[in-house]
Chains A and B, each alone.
Chain A
Amino acid sequence: MSDPRRLLDLEPQGLERELLEFGRDDRISERSRQRIWAGVAGGVGAALPAAGTASAAGATGGAAAGAGGAAAGGSAAGGGAAVGGAAGAAAKLGLSAWVGIGLLSGGILVGGTAHFLSETAPPAVAMKVPRTSQSKAASVRLVAPVEASPATEPSVAENAAEPVAPAPATAAAAPPRAPSAALALRPRVAGGVSQSKEPPAVAAAPSAVPTPAAAPATAAPATAAPAASVTPDALEGELKVLDRARQALRGGDAKRAARELEEHNRRFSLGVLAPEAYVLRIELAFKRGDRAGASLLARDFLAKYPTSPHAARVRAVLAAASQ
């Protein structure tokens, strides 16, 4: 039995054509694509064994709230699965090379930010997290929002900004083998959604602190917990600046890259993406032929962020600069 010809091949007219073409051509927005990929990479991390970066025996949770639906909201909880999972998986799947593949807006958040937060959690906050919290605290949150628009809402609307609710994050101390990382592309349900007994460690709300509070990059305690307040707006702004810097660098416009990095330094010196900015700075120095400077910065970076997903890249730059 042969298949009938497809309706669109029968050259329909009027509304029928319009609807069929819509159905055939409807596409996902670029923003969603990046967010989803970030989530997929983070989610795959749950299935991966804890990577090297998961040496932190404690748990981490990273959360980034969506800025008007812009930034990816990702939360990860669950010991090794979080650091080694979200960030590690990001590395495995190539997200750690965000500086090279243009996933900056959104894509980096799950891997990079969660990782960064875990690295730099201030001890004071880390202490708030009991070391013996239940190991199953990691939870999968797939937020299918209650207040979601009806299915008949046309897909064009998906490109529009979405309402933002505070993104609850979970922090829980768990063994490094905790099986899963939590995923929430758009965490809209405020508070208390995870099984964790811990209070949300990161509450990002549109009205929160204007600049991200980042801790000195010295603490990498075994029971690190995320402890930065990140406002969606600040994060979005930071992402934009770094994205411009990255593009300039890729395009060979070192001057512009330097300007953007200066801007980042000025506006977001304590930003959650400081390590990413640092990586760009190292690459910029290298591209300008400043091998000594690049080596110096690279060594400093590796000392500060030894388990960063960008460490491999930085080491590569260091090796090249040392030749």
Chain B
Amino acid sequence: MSDEPILRFENVTVRFDDIEALSNLSFQAVAGESRVILGAAGSGKTILLKTALGLIKPDSGRVFAFGKEISALPERELFEVRSRMGMQFQESALFDSLTIEENVAYALENQKFISCPPAQVYPRVAEALEFVELGGTLEKFPSELSGGMRRRAAIARAAVTEPPLMLYDSPTAGLDPITAQTIIALLIKERDLKRCTTLVVTYRYQDGNLIANFRYNPKQGNLEPASNGGARARTTFMVLREGRLVFEGVQDRLEASTDPYITKFFKQRE
């Protein structure tokens, strides 16, 4: 695991009218690292991911991804950087007029920085959908799928190009506990098999706990506790409050915090 930063925020501030959605935020994510970003609704979690992707320009500060200052790049030049990122949006954001197959194939067919011969599009789409256990849904439209299936299809769409940086926006929000666990298991599987850097925004501490303490066992095809030995993904927790970063560190430090706002997150599971 290298310490080369894949994503770096330097004193980033994002404002909407007079409200600071992100306030002087600085952090960096290194290759192979997992970052769990906790925060209450409206704390700026989604804005952080969209800023990382270059969808939102910061009012001040700088954002670097893969060594390029994306906060200074025009939209067209951002496409190359974005081709190395995959984003699962909060409400899935699948194109509702396209089938699941067309949705997942979209990046392969439209990203000019991704070279995928037409003959390989279908096999890669089928493989990505099999990965998220949605092999039988190619011809279906997003409206025909359940919320959890849409979330998995969105993960397949984000991951089909095998980007080195994956961004997940509240992947378990609004899902029942079983489906939520399935989604997080997929996320861990994606992280461990593809060795990608992962940023997960969530308000559920259980999600972060799984990401930090479990890994995917490819032989058995399921999750196992990372304490069983072997490689363990480096996981850093971040807590946002009203756009400000109020905590950054490992799980043990988070759980040792006495800050009432921070303790609310891990006390959820007690």
Partners in one complex: no
